[in-house]
Structure 1
């Protein structure tokens, strides 16, 4: 009864979205495209679109570009997937395709960001070491940092291209590095920005400051590795506790699917399965929070 109504509403939504995108594409002239490209990488002191700032920040930190460039296309594909899920799986498929794609995207972006950030922190001492050598050879601090960026490798080189662009636009080095550190929200990068700001305001031996920062970053990395080794058993226990129920359900579905299907068709069995799923999700989230606090 409700299926034609839902399909009609989604079709109208897609039609309106496509008309709006076509209208926006017709109005966007070449001048606006050039201005938008020139504005990429500038420090954004005031957010023009508060609704999308968090989404663009997450994608930018993960190295995935700006999501709003193809937002209409992804929304249309998502709506098509919702229609397909409703056609194949009914209300359960509709609910699954409404919830699972955004959740999967969120987890993927967070995983990309953590992996990229870890690699950047591993490369940061090499950049600082190159900067120290350039300072001792007589170059200025700004030239030494820019030279270190040029001689670094991806992903740090690509990420710190933001610093280079800001300096070309007239931003001084401490503010450009501070903007970069706030974007990626990492203590090592903030210490780098703070050291540059202190040196810029009060002076001092910049090479000694950067050498101490290199030592501090390497000591933090060594401590993190020791902590990871000491808590390996705890993390493995959490993984086993979280995956064991899922693996058992998969085993039953492969060896005796009628057992799980029979439970699902029985009202009391269905309630038990739903309750077990909710408890499994809550337990997994609790284990995840406990692991993050280590």
Structure 2
């Protein structure tokens, strides 16, 4: 090869190497970033697979149970949001065996009676009519509803106190070979109220051909407690999938007794705080009535003047805020 051709070849090779080096320098960061990204993704995937492989069967089962529990809670929350208790259902929950017409008649009579008492006791003033109308509205719509709510809570507390004993009756009956219907019939005839009434409704529903699951679902509507829902779920699952019903109900009875003991302990520990809140909330109205009884001319400007009315409204708002704050402080959820 002539010397000139060798020189041209060497120059061409050198130029190619320079061009290749420039391309490598410019393009390397992009290729390196992609490679590093792939390596990081591969490392994360391998770590995830390694962690999943290290999980024991118990941890996986616990994870599945947690997922199922969260799903059930979400379904229960949606169901509660969709449910609207009618007046008839509220009366059934309170154990009041009257019609809705009788309830509204009693409410109107209660409102008129309270309005008449307030109208007779208050002297004539510019705000007397407003006070009388407000008392009539509260007496018609507020006071009967509050009474029904208190009766419902008292009835549910009695039901919850006797429910573990009823479950124990079912457990002993199932172990001795009795059918579930006969166990419920025993509870309906020998248990205390209101447990006997509710289980008597379940037995009557079964006699007319309503399935047990639907009858228990209706009982959960009349007694909307989580413990009753637990009982319904246990019995329904046993009927659909089988299993040892006596063992499941025995465990449920133990759980309900533990929950009841915890509730009583919380009630005992919070009794002092509730008494203090009651005293603080009732002190201003009691003092106002005492002053009105001893020196009515001294306190009457609060009712006969606009400035006094504004002061009463402001004081009532502040008292309501204080009562709600104290209620929030002593209302323990567990």
Bucket of the pairwise TM-score, normalised by the shorter protein: 0.7 to 0.9
Q: What's 2:181 paired with?
A: 142
Q: Which moved more, 1:65-74 or 1:121-130?
A: 65-74
**How much has 1:268 moved relative to structure 2?**
2.5
Q: What's 1:235 paired with?
A: 274
Q: What's 1:70 paired with?
A: 102
Q: What's 2:212 paired with?
A: 173
SS in 2 for 1:160: helix
Deviations 1:217-244 (A, max 9, x none): 1000011111122222322222222112
Larger CA Rg, structure 1 vs 2: 2
| d(CA) in 2 for partners of 1:110, 1:83 | 22
**How much has 1:107 moved relative to structure 2?**
0.9
Residue pairs, 1:276-287, within 5 angstroms? 276-287=315-326
Q: What's 2:88 paired with?
A: 56
Q: What's 2:74 paired with?
A: none
Q: What's 1:186 paired with?
A: 225
| d(CA) in 1 for partners of 2:212, 2:257 | 24
The 1:87–1:269 alpha-carbon spacing in structure 2 relative to 1, beyond 3 Å, is: closer
Tell whether 2:293 aligns with 1:254: yes
The 1:277–1:152 alpha-carbon spacing in structure 2 relative to 1, beyond 3 Å, is: same
Q: Which moved more, 1:186-195 or 1:248-257?
A: 248-257
Structure 1's unaligned 5+ residue stretches are 1-51
| d(CA) in 2 for partners of 1:61, 1:237 | 31
Deviations 1:19-73 (A, max 9, x none): xxxxxxxxxxxxxxxxxxxxxxxxxxxxxxxxx9511111110000243253574
**How much has 1:78 moved relative to structure 2?**
6.1
Deviations 1:155-211 (A, max 9, x none): 111122221221112122222112201331101111111110111011111111111
The 1:105–1:130 alpha-carbon spacing in structure 2 relative to 1, beyond 3 Å, is: same
SS in 2 for 1:204: coil
**How much has 1:127 moved relative to structure 2?**
1.2
Deviations 1:226-284 (A, max 9, x none): 11222223222222221121222122123322211134334323321221123223332
The answer to whether the 8 Å contact 1:195/1:209 transfers is yes
- The RMSD of aligned alpha carbons is 2.6
The answer to whether the 8 Å contact 2:114/2:136 transfers is yes
| d(CA) in 1 for partners of 2:329, 2:143 | 21
SS in 1 for 2:86: helix
Normalised TM-score (structure 2):
0.65
| d(CA) in 1 for partners of 2:136, 2:305 | 25
Normalised TM-score (structure 1):
0.73
| d(CA) in 2 for partners of 1:80, 1:110 | 21
Tell whether 2:192 aligns with 1:153: yes
| d(CA) in 2 for partners of 1:72, 1:103 | 12
Size of the aligned set, in residue pairs, is: 243
Deviations 1:74-128 (A, max 9, x none): 4764686599579756343133112223211111001100111100111111211
| d(CA) in 1 for partners of 2:246, 2:312 | 62
